[in-house]
Amino acid sequence: MSIWNFLKEMDQLQSQIGELARLNSVAGWPRMSFLPGVSSRHYPMMNISADDQNIYVEALAPGLDSQSLKVTAVRDKLTISGEKATTKVASEKFHRNERSAGKFTRTIELPTQINPDQVAAEYNSGILKITLPKAEEAKPRQIEIKVN
């Protein structure tokens, strides 16, 4: 008869997670800051707000090549993709390397359907501003109240 040992199981799990972390840092493996599900934060970071007519998205995305930046909108989904160029350094022996680089794609679900034909986007000083007009059926309507 075997008895389940919770502490032993947790110790094995911790060892396996540590091994994955070591594999990620091995030279030659791609940096994973832009891979979905791997990074602790989504990139680019966004603020989303709305009024009766539009949804507004501000994405913090400094250092991007504006030619690689793409915005697509369909029904209630917004996708932002692009590429952040790598910094070329004579020596690859960094003392600290916190600036990520590479391709990224981020898709978010919007709070309501939008009119994709009228979406406007502007990239200035590292901030991408997107205005997404709400679809007509998503806009609030004033309802007349009949009084007898």
**Span 31-88+98-137: which CATH code?**
2.60.40.790
Residue pair 60/45 in contact (Cβ under 8 Å)? The answer is: yes
- 130: nearest Cα among 77, 90, 85, 83: 77
Q: For the chain, give every domain's residue range.
A: 31-88+98-137
Q: Which helix (H) or strand (E) holds 27?
A: none
Q: For residue 49, what pLDDT is reported? A: 95
Q: What is this structure's pTM? A: 0.65
Tell me the C-alpha distance between 110 and 74, whole Å.
Answer: 10
Q: What is the pLDDT of residues 78-96, one digit of tens each?
A: 999 998 887 776 666 767 7
